[in-house]
Amino acid sequence: MRSEKISEYTVRRLSHYFRFLADFEAAGKATVSSGNLAEKGGWTSAQVRKDLSLFGSFGKRGLGYSVPELRARIAEILGLGRRWKVCLVGAGKLGSALFRYEGFRNQGFDFMAVFDNDPRKIGRRRGAVTVEDVARLGDVVVAEGIEIGIIATPAESAQKVADTMVEAGIEAILNFAPLNLVLPSHVSLHNVRMLIELESLSFALTNKEVDITRS
Amino acid sequence: MRSEKISEYTVRRLSHYFRFLADFEAAGKATVSSGNLAEKGGWTSAQVRKDLSLFGSFGKRGLGYSVPELRARIAEILGLGRRWKVCLVGAGKLGSALFRYEGFRNQGFDFMAVFDNDPRKIGRRRGAVTVEDVARLGDVVVAEGIEIGIIATPAESAQKVADTMVEAGIEAILNFAPLNLVLPSHVSLHNVRMLIELESLSFALTNKEVDITRS
DNA sequence: TATTGTGAAAGGGTTCACAGCG
DNA sequence: CGCTGTGAACCCTTTCACAATA
């Protein structure tokens, strides 16, 4: 258990297990087997057991895993036993969609501030917060102790925004701008590239005879 | 060249190479080496050459690759030498953000129709198209010959929407709803799960001492 | 000489298969 | 008996290293 290296794939699957466990809990199931979890996500039961065994021995042989207990353990592993302070840069349609999505708040991610560089947007309300001038980004991150930054700006401004975030102490960035950010290695970066997803689909439709491995 | 199996990783990198080649072309470079492309994306030059060699021998030894030629070949491979008919279900903030993003149109993805089930949205204009009742989804997909479906609805409606799409002949779906869709295997599915990305970041921040492999 | 194209080796993620145990 | 936990096997992806060649 708790080896030195954990793959990004394992982390993503843990997120899925976490959701499935919520479903099982809502359905009143007290225990689940690795097979129950596996079939919900299209994996093998061995995969599920391997993933979990990296963090401990949570199951009972012959019985499976206690739903509430495993759920709590995964929450702990993923760092969901607390709330995270998030800021968003870019108050356009995409930014607004992210801001309004209740799922983030429900899972412990609080939008403490929203920034934009458009004077027509600055000062506007977005739920409980007011859109601020992006010039104040660094100061607000420091003052509020913001830990995660979300970038939903055009590509042109994204690197500068990211640099400001990092300078202010942010160590985790979720980037929706269509470019490859260059960041120091201590900063965790995840990119959401919607055009690349569409292009993957275009490839699949164009090359139906080709086997595409791993989805 | 052109082996039977192509990995999803290779396809994604091709999308990146394609962008980088546009940058090189704009910068007036006539040729690039695998090393030039590799450093832009943080890969090795061998990786770039392996990826390209799966589709042919496009380079010249000692010289590299012709920028416009390689760009054209990758466009062809990805199926970007044509336009694709796309429909969008869910005309909320996220759907609107996707609809308005020029990058899709610029790369050949045309939004032919937008659907919603909210009477207050049906009939509203979204750029060149009008939001239609989702009840018409199947008919419109068939009539317009729509090939790619984008789902930006709440989780509750997503499976039903996907089923309708598949029934109407769609074979590629990009899903933003936070659930695991169940689809026949001939349909290509890509999911964008923003909450899972945030949870990965939460894991990274919570487990700083752990090595997380592959980003 | 610089750089490609590619077999071979290495790395690492997934599945198998079974011992261990409730 | 059923299901977990895990070493070993397998398989896929990446990197190495070098012959080929413009």
- Per-residue pLDDT tens digits of chain A, which is 215 residues long: 655 799 999 999 999 999 999 999 999 999 999 999 999 999 999 999 999 999 999 999 999 999 999 999 999 999 999 999 999 999 999 999 999 999 999 999 999 999 999 999 999 999 899 999 999 999 999 999 999 999 999 999 999 999 999 999 999 999 999 999 999 999 999 999 999 999 999 999 999 999 998 75
Q: What is the dihedral of CA A57, A61, A63, A64, to 10 degrees?
A: 30
Identity of residue A2: R
Percentage above 90 pLDDT, chain B: 95
pLDDT of B2 > 60? The answer is no
How high is the pLDDT of residue B3? 52
> Which residue has the closest alpha carbon to C20 C1'?
A61
Mutation to test the A interface, candidates B78, B98, B198, most A Cβ within 10 Å = B198
Summarize the confidence of residues B82-90 as an average pLDDT: 98
CA of A57 to C1' of D5 (A): 8
Residue B30 is encoded by which pair of tokens?
């006539």
CA distance B69 to B30: 10
CA distance A44 to A34: 8
pLDDT band for position B114 (50/70/90)?
A: very high
The rounded mean pLDDT for chain B is: 96
CA of B183 to C1' of C21 (A): 38
How high is the pLDDT of residue A214? 73
Q: Do A42 and B180 touch (CB under 8 A)?
A: yes
Q: Any residues with CB less than 8 A from the CB of A48 and at least 6 apart, and which?
A: A13, A17, A34, A35, A37, A38
> Which residue has the closest alpha carbon to C21 C1'?
A61
Q: To the nearest whole angstrom, how far is the Cα of A62 from the nearest Cα of chain B? A: 28
How high is the pLDDT of residue B119? 98
Report phi then psi at B209, rounded to 5: -80, -15
CA distance B101 to B93: 12
How high is the pLDDT of residue A127? 87
How high is the pLDDT of residue A165? 99
Q: Do A107 and B198 touch (CB under 8 A)?
A: yes
Q: Do B205 and A5 touch (CB under 8 A)?
A: no
E-only strand ranges, chain B:
5-7, 31-32, 65-66, 84-89, 109-116, 125-126, 129-133, 148-151, 172-175, 188-191, 211-213
Confidence (pTM): 0.97
pLDDT band for position B214 (50/70/90)?
A: confident
CA of B10 to C1' of D9 (A): 26
Task: List Cα–Cα distances, B162 to B146, B166, B172, in angstroms.
Answer: 14, 6, 10
Strand A172-175 and strand A129-133: the pairing is unpaired
Q: Any residues with CB less than 8 A from the CB of A49 and at least 6 apart, and which?
A: A34, A59
Q: Any residues with CB less than 8 A from the CB of B24 and at least 6 apart, and which?
A: B32, B36, B67
How high is the pLDDT of residue B110? 98
Please, is A162 exposed, middle or buried when counting C-beta atoms within 10 Å of its C-beta (0-12, 13-18, 19+)? buried
> Which residue has the closest alpha carbon to D2 C1'?
A62
How high is the pLDDT of residue B127? 86
Express each pLDDT in B140-157 by its tens digit.
999 999 999 999 999 999
Alpha-helical regions (H) of B79-191 = 93-100, 102-106, 137-144, 155-167
Summarize the confidence of residues B16-29 as an average pLDDT: 98
The reply to whether B90 has its C-beta less than 7 Å from any atom of strand C is no
Using C1' positions and the CA of B52, the closest nucleotide is C5
Using the structure block, give the residue that is written with the tokens 């993923």: A78
Residue B82 is encoded by which pair of tokens?
């044509």
Q: Do B109 and A198 touch (CB under 8 A)?
A: yes
Partner-chain residue, chosen from A188, A192, A214, that has the shortest CB–CB distance to B7: A214
Identity of residue A85: K
How high is the pLDDT of residue B1? 61
CA of B71 to C1' of C12 (A): 32
